[in-house]
Amino acid sequence: MTANTKLSSPETMALGGMTLALFLGAGNIIFPPLVGLQAGTNTFNAGFGFIITAVLFPALAIISLAINEGSINELTRPLGKWVSFIFIGICFLTLGMLFGTPRTATISYEVITNGAADIWWKKLIFSAVFFGLAGAILAKPGKMLEVVGFVLSPVKISVLIFIGVCAWFHPIGEITTATTIYETQAFRAGFVNGYQTLDVISALCFGAIISHTLKQRGVTHTKGIFRYSASSAFIAATGLTLIYICYISMGAHTPEIGATNGMQIMSAYVETVFGTYGRELLAAIITLACLVTAIGLTSGTAQFFKQNTGISYGVFVTLSLIFSAAIAILGLNSLTTLAIPVLCSIYPAVLVVVILGIFRRWFDIPDNLYRVFFYSALGVGILSLFVKG
């Protein structure tokens, strides 16, 4: 294949579908209903704020990476080799084997067992099978588009859209009453909650997968990588927006007024509408969503460390999956407690890196000024850990 290889329209759509599927992990699916429940009559303003941070910013991150030759090293080059490596390494390890990847198995296990089998060895066996399946797909990185883009993504996205459309046209309850914060600051509350999905960091990981996939398909020229990455970002952003709107609406019309998380809202809706098989359907959807996200996080992390440490892709994938299976037995609450402080502290700096990466296409930003913005944002993130409220 030559450097001028182009993707067909079906391949471009599959790439966009793969990108959308990578983003749609369990957390992204179950979080919007909770926003809808709490926003109630102020759902529009809250949803608008949520979509800015949960859709627009991640799409910009993919575009920023594409502008910088699809290389995260080029994106953070002004920081210097070691600072860049340490910072991005922390981002990827936290999203990967330290939190994000183990969480995919933990959520799948809990939704399948309905929280009734909290036994460590059962969780370990489930995790081993779950990550074994992910490893079988990851064994052939050049087939990511075929397996995830053409097979897993359409199934997962079709079912999620089907449930979302049902929720939009067939609500099962009256619109809820906005909670105190959503009564007075609906847009801000939605904005902050979307920010906490932390998908901008995920986008850097997934953006690297997109670039790698394009190169595997023979698209190696800068314009081609930017063109198809931007197309995939647009397709994913469109899909995310539509899905989030439907699932926020689901929460805004739920009879589960006392729900404390989106899974309870989704379970109530699916079981009410689809009856006896509703819970099994939901478990299958969440597990598939988690599997695709696990594949994306592991692949993106492995590619980064292969490029920067010389560790082979296969070795890192194997070690990552084994470690993820072991750490998954800690449970969702423990994993969240350990990871959230790290994620919240680095998120502002990641957002600055993304924005500066886009500006560098048109403006010459001195390295010293770049570092001032970066360290200022990092300082704000770290200080936010000590601010209550």
Of residues 331, 332, 339, 299, the one with CA closest to residue 318? 299
pLDDT at 1: 39
pTM: 0.81
**CA 332 to CA 44: how far, in whole Å?**
31
pLDDT at 129: 93
pLDDT single digits (tens) 316-375: 999 999 999 999 888 776 777 777 788 778 888 998 999 999 998 788 889 999 999 999
Of residues 165, 163, 152, the one with CA closest to residue 14? 152
**CA 249 to CA 43: how far, in whole Å?**
8
> 12 or 118: whose pLDDT is higher?
12
pLDDT at 60: 92
Of residues 141, 172, 143, the one with CA closest to residue 275? 172
Please give the C-alpha separations between residue 315 and each of 138, 139, 323, in angstroms, as whole numbers: 11, 10, 12
Angle (CA) 309-313-318 rounded to 5° is 110
pLDDT at 146: 60
Residue 14: pLDDT band with limits 50, 70, 90: confident
Q: Out of 63-67, 75-79, 81-85, 272-276, which region has the weakest mean confidence (pLDDT)?
A: 272-276
Range 157-160 contact pairs with CB under 8 angstroms and sequence separation of 24 or more = 157/17, 157/20, 157/21, 157/24, 157/239, 159/281, 159/285, 160/24, 160/29, 160/243, 160/285, 160/289
Residue 31 neighbours by CB distance under 10 Å: 23
Residue 2: pLDDT band with limits 50, 70, 90: very low
**CA 325 to CA 133: how far, in whole Å?**
12
Max mean pLDDT among 100-104, 132-136, 250-254, 347-351 falls in: 250-254
Question: Bridge partners of 219?
Answer: 4
Report which DSSP code applies to 173.
Answer: S
